[in-house]
Amino acid sequence: GRDPRVVSVSSLAHRTGWIDFNDLQGERFYSAWKAYGQSKLACLMFALELHRRLGGARAAGASVRAVAAHPGWTATDLQRTAGVVRVFNPLFAMKPEDGALPTLRAATDPEAESGSFWGPSRFFELNGPPVPARIPKRAQDETAAARLWEESEKRTGVRFDLDVAPGAATRRAS
């Protein structure tokens, strides 16, 4: 059967990220790790906001899911310039094919519900088979997520007209 999904790929770096609305593009202060953390938090927030905005479509019978995943600590080229991190790759890092498993599970598992987040199961989500991952409070900020969505539409010139207004899930629940 058909099971359409949008899977956003985040990273453990989402834990260090914060959305700086005064400097979204890093024009005032740029740091590669700050930008990476912010972008990976934004990817997770996007998935959660898309999940909320698709709520009306799901209520009308559509089956589109918005799901997110992160690969844990996976040995990739990302670490080749990260000195000390590269040294610990043999101890903690998974092979790329194992690091892809959380994304594959998010994309294919019938039990992966819309709004879920997947990552490795062991050692602070660094490695292991994929399971539901912890979603930090910062990523659950619906006001910031709606604002980030609107900023993204404004900056890209691409608008997505979905059935549900931002925050509608919250209004329905209260």
- Nearest Cα neighbor of 149 from 55, 48, 33, 10 is 48
- Nearest Cα neighbor of 116 from 132, 101, 136, 131 is 132
> Phi/psi at 84 (nearest 5 deg)?
-65, -35
Q: Which amino acid is at 170?
A: T
Of the residues 6, 16, 26, 36, only one is catalytic, namely 36
131, β-bridge pairs? 119
Q: Is residue 30 annotated as a catalytic residue, yes or no?
A: no
3-class DSSP state for residue 123? coil
> Phi/psi at 72 (nearest 5 deg)?
65, -145
Composition of the chain by helix, strand, coil, percent to 5: 50, 15, 40
Active site residues: 36
